[in-house]
Amino acid sequence: MMCRLRWLALAAALSLLTGCGTSGDFGRVRTSLVGDDTHAWMGPAAAPGPATSLVWKHQLTDDERTMRDLAYPLIEPPYDRNKWYSVIGEVGAGSRQWPYPDRSAYASRLFTTAYRSQTARYNRLLEDIRNDVMRIDPFFNMARYVGQMDSKREKAMAYVPRLTAEERANTLQRMAENRNIALWVQGALQERAASYRVALERMVIAAPSPVAAEAERALTLLQQRISGYSV
């Protein structure tokens, strides 16, 4: 059922791509192209296992849904944003290098994309780094809250009478999904910072510019913010 809904959302989204762009505010796919549970696939993708075959009879909580929505831009390769096929990634379809793209892929895309000047290329790097810096706090604040609710959920199971094996397995699976999504984002951010470093080093060699110092400061800030969170 989830797969069918995913592909229906994909088909509807692709039918709109010709007449209008895919991007809304802050580089996100427009809300008219995606549904409330567009990123629900991230849970089973982050925590595969025998329990994933069991049917979870409750929807994602509002906080779990928000956590996944905030997580996706931090695992999506920056160079795929605003592309016609970005909706495919949003619904978890298509061929992707999960969990992390190759570190050199970002630099390769940056250098093969046509820009009018090297300054424009540096500015793209700066924009991607700064966007990630802005996304970090909202995601990890929500992930922390979801983790706190999962701790209460785990304790509550001990007091629920006649809890079935299926209900217990499904609850543990949901908790594992939430935890692993946070770990996924943390690892993706570390890999992303490394890919930005590769790109910056290549750009300094190819086209030295005073803007490189600004990019270096932005990247240092990103790395500091990443190291400030542990899951």
* pLDDT given at position 19: 43
**Residue 158 Cα distances to 150, 162, 175, angstroms:** 13, 10, 15
Q: Give the global pTM.
A: 0.78
Domain ranges of the chain: 2-227
Residue 212 burial class via C-beta count within 10 angstroms: exposed 0-12, middle 13-18, buried 19 and up? middle
Return the minimum-mean-pLDDT range out of 59-73, 77-91, 95-109.
77-91
Average pLDDT of span 21-46: 63
Higher-scoring residue by pLDDT: 8, 192 = 192
88-90-92 Cα angle (round to 5):
75
* pLDDT given at position 5: 43
* pLDDT given at position 29: 47
